[in-house]
Amino acid sequence: MIDIKFLRDNPNLVKLKSEQKGYKVDIDKILELDRQRRELIVEVDDLRQQRNDLSKSKLAKDLQQATIDSVKTIKHSLNLKTEQLNHISQQFEDYLRQVPNLALDNVPIGRTENDNVVVKQVGHLPEFSFQPRPHYILAENLGLIDNKRATKISGSRFAYIKADLVKLQFALINFVFSSLSDQQVIDKIIKDNHLQTDNKPFTPILPPALLKTEPYLASSRLDEENVTYKIAQDDLWLNASAEHTLCTMYWNEVLDLKDLPIRYIGYSTSFRREAGTYGKDMEGIFRLHQFDKLEMEVFSTPEDGWNEHLLLVAIQEYLVGSLALPYQVLQKCTIDIGKPNAQGVDIETYLPGQAKYRETHSADYMTDYQSRDLKIRFKDNNQIRLVHTNDATAFALSRILIAIIENYQTAEGRIMIPKILQPFMNQEII
């Protein structure tokens, strides 16, 4: 949620920045509701004070009945004004939540994802003496993926992942957990990228896969129409990405400055309806309703938020680079960075079976947009301040499995295992 004080002082800027992200918001309506809300707060506070003063007053006996009548009148007025305040406050919050986070000034302005900017390309595209095959043909021939039977029992966009591909997924999980919890690895990434940030390792975490509506809504990640599944019998949603139950973890809490930054590397199964992608990427495991993710989440001070974002992108490059996969880094434009993001970076890994780069990672810097609505704060001496939040993909496992399958395929239709993962599997080839 955006800072209402900033909106009051900069209504035209907020409107412009919102439009650059593709959001049309009624700024005048928000400011009018804000005015009504503040007036009602004053009236309610005044009535409460009157009620309290009369209740405590010591009057003569012949005036006591009048005092009681006055208290009743004030209570009645207080109830009416409180009801009005609650109604106006709910409207105000609903409208304010429609305002996206403002993109940082370095974010390119764009109308479509085609306006994203390629910052750099790393690695050489693989050369094959044969026509490279897509992952789903290779995996099906090796008995690693079964889409047909999954479709039979669950519907489209589900898959059975089998045999050595399961072992490869868990090798990736072990590689990430061991790397990001290793002080020496974090030190190396910071040094190699000339970063100015804390060298605290990440804490591994297995978060819940379900969350309540209120914190989900406050996180600005709930997209019930296109993304998220609802449990019919309960006030619970299946998380659409691993960070959704991580960024909400400290909902309504005040953290201690000495504990910041808090860095988590979480693993969770995630669920997406993919309602807006009908007919796209139907083969294999690129775009599933159910998939597993390793996700980084960081809570920091405002002063460290940007450096944490840079660290997360550097970690992503380290992880993809460790697999010796060719990739490119994209600076996402205003229309593509998402509602709560002030900055967004994607990594796209090259897939020979498609002969193009496809998104495998995203890194999102939210400033205090999430923490304001989630009320996640920290105590800095005698001052209570909002934390800044960052999240970033370590590995979306199905997509990075595709990248490995297609880049490491052999002419015989087998799959070489990246050297960094071989110790976790005790084999060199599938």
250-288 pLDDT, tens digit each: 999 999 999 999 999 999 999 998 876 667 778 889 999
- Start-to-end CA distance of the chain, whole Å, equals 48
Task: Give mean pLDDT, residues 72-90.
Answer: 88
Residues contacting 314, CB < 8 A, separation 6+: 189, 190, 192, 193, 195
Q: How far apart are CA 363 and CA 294, in angstroms?
A: 13
* Domains, in order of start, for the chain: 4-96 (1.10.287.40), 113-425 (3.30.930.10)
389-428 pLDDT, tens digit each: 999 999 999 999 999 999 999 999 999 999 999 999 999 9
Neighbours of 244 (CB within 10 A): 27
How do strand 236-238 and strand 230-231 relate by DSSP bridges? Answer: antiparallel
Per the CB < 8 A criterion, the answer to whether 362 and 392 are in contact is yes
Instruction: Check residue 67 and give its pLDDT.
Output: 61
pLDDT, mean over the chain: 93
Residues paired with 266 in a beta bridge: 205, 295
Residue 360 corresponds to which tokens in the numbers above?
């495998």
Residue 406 corresponds to which tokens in the numbers above?
């297609």
168-227 pLDDT, tens digit each: 999 999 999 999 999 999 999 999 999 999 999 999 999 999 999 999 999 999 987 778
